[in-house]
Amino acid sequence: MAGSDEVNRNECKTVVPLHTWVLISNFKVSYHMLRRPDGTFERDLAEYMDRRVPANPRPVEGVSSFDHFIDLSVGLEARIYRAVAGNAAGAAEGAAALTLPILEFLGGAPSPDPLPVIIFFHGGSFAHSASSTTIYDNLCRQLVKLSKGVVVSVNYRRAPEHRYPCAYDDGWAALKWAQAQPFLRSGSDARLRVFLAGDSSGGNIAHHVAVRAAEEGIKIHGNILLNAMFGGVERTESERRLDGKYFVTLQDRDWYWKAYLPEDADRDHPACNPFGPNGRRLRGLPFAKSLIIVSGLDLTCDRQLGYAEGLREDGHDVKLVHREKATIGFYLLSNTNHYHEVMEEIAEFVRANLL
């Protein structure tokens, strides 16, 4: 077994850039430390170990951000990013000077030009990370730059302390909050042009929030799913073939589903397996167009490809980008062609579906 593990590590390092290998391997080690065999979680240690950055009202590389509570009843917070012309605000001094642009933004009038609003849900298998985690702060800044819009990164409640459907409820609350904000409307018709996006568990959340939006007649301009986390009881070919080879094991994935799903549920619960035996089809619903990014070396890639096919079978518009030689997390570091080409796919998808 030890020899097999060594072969897997060596194979992984020949495919994955060194910096990505170090980043994801460090996550894997720390995540293993935080998961307890009884299904509980070392939350205090997780908060201590998670590398985070504060919001920056002073623009950095043309992007400013601030944290804002959107539902005090459950402590739901979001980090809001926007593009700022130049770095003029960086010269401002004092708390009052930094607070004023935030208040002006929150109370501002709709933009006369169409403005995309991306509601983003971070990954972490429902248990890890936050809107302030460094890798997700960096990713949201990149989304602002390529979309020329606003990003609302949702700090949803995490499992196992907050099981299904808490993350979905928080995603829905974020969408309803965005709907009520005049400063997020844009264009001559002054309406919200909103996209839902997320990676891993965040992609799963984006799907389920989009389904509810379709049911309630709220227009979503597009879904952007990066390595979305889906599962099921019956193992797929990619799950068997890639188990433990590129950072993730089936045992890891099973732990997270057990931590998030209702205590009496299995992995064919609709939260995990939306088109499975207990799921529902979306034919006839005005479901959003989808951009689905799949890493071919993610052990759940068959799940994601099956999800894309399920949407197509139900008559929905899907743009599938299958990067066969990419691993999980490739979109977190700008050190591969996969990263740059997928970022351009996202930018084009937003531009094409803005109106």
Taking a C-beta distance cutoff of 8 angstroms, is the pair 198, 120 a contact? Answer: yes
SS3 state of residue 70: strand
Which residue, among 137, 27, 143, 134, has the nearest Cα to 78 in the 3D structure?
A: 137
What element of type H or E holds 78? strand 76-83
* Eight-class DSSP state of 289: P
- Is-catalytic flag, 200? yes
131, 153, 200, 295: the catalytic one is: 200
DSSP 318-348: EEEEEETT--TTGGGSS-SHHHHHHHHHHHH
Residue 227, φ and ψ in degrees, nearest 5: 50, 50
Rounded CA-CA distance 227/48 in Å is: 26
Instruction: From 196, 204, 231, select the one nearest 303 (Cα to Cα).
Output: 231
CA distance 83 to 61: 9
Catalytic residues, by residue number, are 200
